[in-house]
Amino acid sequence: MLSRRSGLAAAALSVWLSLVLSSAVAAHQDKPHADPRAAPPVTAPRASTGMGNSPAAGPFPLNLGGHFNLMDQTGAIRSDLDYQGRFVLLFFGYVNCKYMCSLTLRNLAQAVDRLGVYSDQVQPVLITVDPEFDTVAVLRRELAKIHPRFLGLTGSQSALAAAYRAYKIKPRRIGLNDQSDAVVSRTSYIYLLGRNGEVLTLLPPILTADRMAGIIRRYMHDSR
């Protein structure tokens, strides 16, 4: 029974992610230069607040998220509880990725800066899916090039596996690139976590920094 439930949950997640990505692609193609404050966010279903046309974020439709206890690029142990009271942009990737990861990490960092005076309320976090390469020293060196507040997390195999399970991540090495670096397959979505650590929505990696910031801003407004 447990295996059947896990399979149904995985299938539901796959369908929901497909719908989100389809919406994001359409929005990106139709309005590539739209003002993110005016564009409708690509989010989970939203419920009416009864206050005009200002929507409030509804509950995320799938069971995602949970605790993690990992090591950052300074060697300090970090927990999800360290960021209670702030929003978190959580991305599972690796710094040696030459393609989507590289673009996503920079867009994510730029989105934080686009929030202006509210940027300190959002913590960008990378949890590595390539711990063999992403050592503490590598995370410290590479993330400093992207954003001074970017937090990079790694850890033991069991500690990382617990984080992967919580967010339904299944990283898998699929080969080497032309520089003989590992290529790791996994989901590329960014998880937006609320002030209490709950998953609010998933942000497709194809979003521009401006559009991503617009979605984050909407959730920040709804949580007041």
pLDDT digits (tens, 9 = 90+) for 178-209: 544 555 555 678 999 999 999 999 998 888 99
Average pLDDT over residues 126-150: 93
pTM of the model: 0.71
pLDDT value at residue 54: 33
Closest alpha carbon to 197 in 86, 109, 92, 58? 86
List, in order of start, the domains of the chain with CATH numbers: 2-222 (3.40.30.10)
With 90 as the cut, is the pLDDT of residue 147 above it? Answer: yes
Answer yes or no: are the C-beta atoms of 42 and 28 closer than 8 Å: no
Using CA atoms of 90, 94, 100, 106 in order, give the dihedral in degrees to the nearest 10: 60
pLDDT value at residue 19: 40
pLDDT value at residue 216: 96
With 60 as the cut, is the pLDDT of residue 37 above it? Answer: no
